[in-house]
Structure 1
Amino acid sequence: MTKADVLIIGSGVAALQLAKRLRDDKNVIIITKSFLKNGNSNLAQGGIAAAIGKNDHPDSHFADTLEAGGFHNDRAAVLAVTKEAPDLIEELSEEGCRFDTDEQGGLLLGMEGAHSENRIVHGGGDATGRRIMEHLASAAAGKCTIFENTFVFDLIIDSSGRCIGAKGKNADGNIESFFANHVVLATGGCGQLYSHTSNAETVTGDGIALAYKAGAEIADMEFVQFHPTLLYLNGKTHGLISEAVRGDGGRLVTEAGVPIMEGVHPMGDLAPRHIVAQKIYDYLREGTSIYLDVSAIKNFAERFPTITALCEKNHVEWKSRIPVAPGSHFLMGGVKTDLIGRTSIKGLYAIGEAACTGLHGANRLASNSLLEGLFMGKKLSEWINEGRRDEVGIEFTEIRRPLSGCIRLPEIKDIKRTMMENTGIVRSEEGLLKQKRWLESFQLEEWLNADLGHLNFEEMTRAFMLITSWLITDSALKRTESRGGHFRSDHPCEKNHDWMGRQIIQKRNDQNEQIETAVAT
């Protein structure tokens, strides 16, 4: 048995920001099922969105976030995060985190899809996530104890319903119980549920499944963002091609060089991600390959060294056109929390992509993810630092039961294939019902209440992928409208992208009027 003040499950930007900012007298433990930097945060090519340009304002960032999110966002959450974004950038810079600068020494601000201004702060060109992770890991070093290669398979809930710890299994097969005043899920999203994805291999929805098994409220699971441009070769995706490439002048074209986004949306190639992804998907389904033409971008290799290396590794001649396809990228839903990170279970918190604060709405605005992790890690640290240091009791009610002998799990490859086919970019009632029946055929209720301690890492992963896949599919079936990252082909309204564009622009104009009125008063 190991005790701590704060137990953090996961090791991305949100987790390390929290650990770094906790008081030195706090006993902090980080548990990660792989290695500290093996996750989505380290892979993030995009930057951090912040309204720090001369002609920019947080209110504009606020409006862009609402528009990209299909106006499904929690406006208070959006307002709080967009207002604090410039300060978060300034704090990181003052701490020594190096961001890209222009010739005058000011921050170099890039453009990405659905943004109305250049406001994306990058580090190392397209290696922002790695640079921030290195900075945070260095700052957090010595402040916490790290358990790597330890798979958390259960949350410990006491007889009052409070979360007081978690159970983990290490690579040697040994099980250990960790107890803490504050248990934090920072496990990321669930991109690996799909066959085409930009996500790290570790991102399989574990934290969301853990929370659901424990009885926590889950929200907005139907909203899965598919990034429009992943490197695509021989029917497989091989890594992310950042949206910043289109922000710098990259254009989506057919093999014949015909632009595909003209007339689809007023912002063209920089339209919100779900619109671009759906358009590429339509072409691919008809057998037409799509490419990202980067010939207009000067010094591409210097501007995008990570993408250049990815293309060269896969023998792609990047100087002209890069073959692309959409893939799962980000989950807007997750464990429902407030802006501190508190869940519906006392003692349990969630931050980063595992959480659903309402910031992203139905579709995340580009480069708001690292921003959210930094914001939530900071806010939760402030709340914990101000709180009491109550000792955690170790009496709890064991609610898990052994599995029956006949219970089965689906294969990972089958989960990924069927989720892509039935609960992917384009969905229908028929496909969603088919997927839900298939997932439930694996005795889902048994897995929700079972003790998973006897399983190995791969089996635990399959169990959590099953649960999280069901949450997405069930939510997608219940939402019959099309909105943001959730597109129903059997809902007629959003089949016409021109109609969507007109509606978005009208809503944006209405929103701008409201903002101008608010600023004036």
Structure 2
Amino acid sequence: MPFEYTDVLIVGSGIAALNLATKLSEHMNVRIITKSKIENSNSMLAQGGVAAAISPSDHWENHFQDTMSAGCYHNNKAAVKTLVELGPSCIRELMNDGMTFDCDSDGNLVLGLEGAHLQNRILHAGGDSTGKALMNYLFSKLDQKVIVNENEMILDLIIHDEKCVGVTSLNNHNEITSFYANHVVLATGGCGGLYSVTSNDITITGDGIAAAYRAGAEITDMEFIQFHPTMLFKDGKSHGLISEAVRGEGALLVNDKGKYIMEGVHDLKDLAPRDIVSRRIHKEYINGNLVFLDISMIKNFRIKFPTITGICEKAGISLQEGLLPVAPGAHFLMGGIKTNLYGESTINGLYAIGEAACTGVHGANRLASNSLLEGIVFASLLAKRLISAPKQRRRPFLFAKRQRSSSGTSSLPTANEIRNLMSRYAGIERDEKGLIYAKQWIESYLNKDMVNGVLLVNASRSAYTVINMLTTSWLILSSALEREESRGGHYRIDYPVSDSRWLKRYLSRTIKKDGIGFQELVKGAN
């Protein structure tokens, strides 16, 4: 098995990964490995903007309160304060270095409004192409010293003397490579690919979280899945995301009976937190109604939202009628690999940033446009930590052969079977009966080799993807069963009413691998 060595190994290629790589490249050797092409990431697909209290009339304390409120007060307050307090300076640093955001004719930043924000603080670039603009900016900053290996799918972490020293990966030719490093950073995104309708890139199937779990890292808050309310939905499938910025411009949700469905549901109506809007649309579909986004009141829609216009045209949907068919889709994971504010996990030498990580900053429900900011801020903090860390000499690792198993993969379910299961039983609404059924179904396929990260003989990339999907699904289902309440992105129809008690008891759901079996740990916070 061939191997490579570097100072810092980053797994993933979204905004957190590239921001970290650009900041580290002048100080140490950096390698990026990514499952597909470097352009394949959720960050590239992000239509929404970056939230930051950058206006003179705004203040980070306002952003803090909006983030806490949207997160149902399950947030880590220190993480939220760090995000919103450092956010404006991080944005200004990008702008001073050449990143351009949309401005009016006088050169002033155009600040948009999105769900659960009480002030206009959303910066956009290229209208509804902010993620792509930020990623292209970071691509231009990548130093030639950063080595990029595409089409390398992470299999497992390599642990030596209780320290993470690298990862094993599988390329498109089913060749396994070991990548060793002093510091291993997982920036592999969330798990939207576990669901039938999702805004996520096709590569996002929980690989990094599953690998971290198998290595013994603590995984937390996996029950909190955010569903974006407005995926463009036609002929039973999703065609892309309709940014919340469209509702920020005045668009309204209406059913096929002509009723505006958010009236009387929430004070913020169509700009209510995403979990509330998603459940309302979901209820309409259960009742046999279709749901549309009425954009008839938005002038110059094509100019303001060129990306969405292209998505609609590709799907054969006319903008002239002013009604876009929408349905909720899996969008963002609030949980993930448990880390501190500097990306440090519970395993020495292993870090996580971006959506793969859980600092607790998003609580039970992410505030709109906080995700790109998260990737910018916490990657910057990790960069400072690694740059200031004592220099490490290259260690003479014992490159032991990985154990192989003869366990077959012929009995694995298909990826679509898993997606259908998760969408039905662990989607926008859940209950105990359905969660137990789904968990037992998943467990009927998992075996000890898959749990312990043993390399399977002749297993393909698609087989390993399914194993990661099974593992991450199990984490979500186990967490969702444990939380007997409804909060944010976790809605139990058998516990439908969240009362004020959870405002006084902030619970943290943590799962940690214990040997071959599974052990669930519930830890109280505050």
Query: Normalising by the residue count of structure 2, what TM-score does the alignment of the two structures yield?
Result: 0.92
In structure 1, the residue matched to 2:37 is 35
Give, in whole Å, the separation in 2 of the partners of 1:84 and 1:143: 28
Please report how far the alpha carbon of residue 98 of structure 1 lies from its aligned counterpart in structure 2 after TM superposition: 1.5
Verify the 8 A CA contact 1:181 1:389 in the aligned structure 2. Answer: no
Please state if 1:283 is matched with 2:284.
Answer: yes
Q: Which amino acid aligns with 1:414?
A: E
Question: What stretches of structure 1 of length at least 5 have no aligned partner?
Answer: 495-499, 508-521
Pair 1:221–1:406, CA change in 2 (3 A): closer
Which segment is superposed worse, 21-30 or 144-153?
21-30
In structure 1, the residue matched to 2:513 is none
In structure 1, the residue matched to 2:193 is 192
Query: 1:139-168: CA deviations, max 9, x gaps?
Result: 01413000001112111100x210001111
For residues 427-446 of structure 1, the aligned pairs below 5 Å read 427-446=430-449
In structure 2, the residue matched to 1:326 is 328
Query: 1:292-328: CA deviations, max 9, x gaps?
Result: 0001111110000000010011111123110000000
Verify the 8 A CA contact 1:407 1:443 in the aligned structure 2. Answer: no
In structure 1, the residue matched to 2:371 is 369
Please report how far the alpha carbon of residue 453 of structure 1 lies from its aligned counterpart in structure 2 after TM superposition: 6.5
In structure 2, the residue matched to 1:341 is 343
Pair 1:464–1:477, CA change in 2 (3 A): same
In structure 2, the residue matched to 1:418 is 421
Please report how far the alpha carbon of residue 257 of structure 1 lies from its aligned counterpart in structure 2 after TM superposition: 2.2
Q: CA RMSD, aligned part only?
A: 1.6
Give, in whole Å, the separation in 2 of the partners of 1:455 and 1:176: 14
For residue 493 of structure 1, give the secondary structure of its aligned residue in structure 2: coil
Question: What stretches of structure 2 of length at least 5 have no aligned partner?
Answer: 504-526
Verify the 8 A CA contact 1:38 1:200 in the aligned structure 2. Answer: yes
Verify the 8 A CA contact 1:444 1:467 in the aligned structure 2. Answer: no
For residue 455 of structure 2, give the secondary structure of its aligned residue in structure 1: coil
Give, in whole Å, the separation in 2 of the partners of 1:355 and 1:303: 33
Verify the 8 A CA contact 1:164 1:392 in the aligned structure 2. Answer: no
Which segment is superposed worse, 80-89 or 215-224?
80-89
Verify the 8 A CA contact 2:25 2:146 in the aligned structure 1. Answer: no
Give, in whole Å, the separation in 2 of the partners of 1:472 and 1:400: 28
Verify the 8 A CA contact 2:404 2:457 in the aligned structure 1. Answer: no
Give, in whole Å, the separation in 1 of the partners of 2:235 and 2:171: 37
Give, in whole Å, the separation in 2 of the partners of 1:455 and 1:404: 10
In structure 2, the residue matched to 1:389 is 391
Pair 1:96–1:427, CA change in 2 (3 A): same
Pair 1:453–1:147, CA change in 2 (3 A): farther
- Which of the numbers 461, 469, 476 marks the counterpart of 2:465? 461
Please state if 1:19 is matched with 2:36.
Answer: no
Give, in whole Å, the separation in 2 of the partners of 1:406 and 1:157: 25
Verify the 8 A CA contact 2:407 2:457 in the aligned structure 1. Answer: no
Which segment is superposed worse, 413-422 or 23-32?
23-32
Please state if 1:448 is matched with 2:422.
Answer: no
For residues 217-296 of structure 1, the aligned pairs below 5 Å read 217-296=218-297
For residue 231 of structure 1, give the secondary structure of its aligned residue in structure 2: strand
Which segment is superposed worse, 426-435 or 392-401?
392-401
Give, in whole Å, the separation in 2 of the partners of 1:408 and 1:183: 33
Query: 1:434-459: CA deviations, max 9, x gaps?
Result: 10010000034331122246321111
Verify the 8 A CA contact 1:222 1:472 in the aligned structure 2. Answer: yes
Give, in whole Å, the separation in 2 of the partners of 1:213 and 1:156: 11
In structure 1, the residue matched to 2:520 is none
Which segment is superposed worse, 188-197 or 392-401?
392-401
For residue 174 of structure 2, give the secondary structure of its aligned residue in structure 1: coil
For residues 141-180 of structure 1, the aligned pairs below 5 Å read 141-158=143-160, 160-180=161-181
Pair 1:188–1:116, CA change in 2 (3 A): same
Pair 1:49–1:94, CA change in 2 (3 A): same
Please state if 1:309 is matched with 2:313.
Answer: no
Please report how far the alpha carbon of residue 25 of structure 1 lies from its aligned counterpart in structure 2 after TM superposition: 3.8
Query: Normalising by the residue count of structure 1, what TM-score does the alignment of the two structures yield?
Result: 0.93
Q: Which amino acid aligns with 1:268?
A: K
Verify the 8 A CA contact 2:14 2:41 in the aligned structure 1. Answer: yes
Give, in whole Å, the separation in 2 of the partners of 1:400 and 1:119: 52
Please state if 1:488 is matched with 2:489.
Answer: no
Q: Which amino acid aligns with 1:35?
A: K
Please report how far the alpha carbon of residue 138 of structure 1 lies from its aligned counterpart in structure 2 after TM superposition: 1.1
Please report how far the alpha carbon of residue 175 of structure 1 lies from its aligned counterpart in structure 2 after TM superposition: 1.7
Please report how far the alpha carbon of residue 88 of structure 1 lies from its aligned counterpart in structure 2 after TM superposition: 1.3
Give, in whole Å, the separation in 1 of the partners of 2:142 and 2:458: 33
Please report how far the alpha carbon of residue 401 of structure 1 lies from its aligned counterpart in structure 2 after TM superposition: 4.4
Paired residue total: 498
Give, in whole Å, the separation in 1 of the partners of 2:156 and 2:249: 45
Q: Which amino acid aligns with 2:75?
A: N
More helix by share: 1
Please report how far the alpha carbon of residue 3 of structure 1 lies from its aligned counterpart in structure 2 after TM superposition: 0.8
Q: Which amino acid aligns with 2:465?
A: T
Pair 1:423–1:102, CA change in 2 (3 A): same
Please report how far the alpha carbon of residue 234 of structure 1 lies from its aligned counterpart in structure 2 after TM superposition: 1.5
Give, in whole Å, the separation in 1 of the partners of 2:259 and 2:111: 29
In structure 1, the residue matched to 2:518 is none
Give, in whole Å, the separation in 1 of the partners of 2:399 and 2:483: 37
For residue 18 of structure 1, give the secondary structure of its aligned residue in structure 2: helix
Give, in whole Å, the separation in 1 of the partners of 2:153 and 2:236: 32
Q: Which amino acid aligns with 2:286?
A: R
For residue 405 of structure 2, give the secondary structure of its aligned residue in structure 1: coil
Give, in whole Å, the separation in 2 of the partners of 1:162 and 1:156: 8
Please state if 1:471 is matched with 2:464.
Answer: no
Which segment is superposed worse, 443-452 or 170-179?
443-452
Pair 1:263–1:444, CA change in 2 (3 A): farther
Please report how far the alpha carbon of residue 195 of structure 1 lies from its aligned counterpart in structure 2 after TM superposition: 0.2
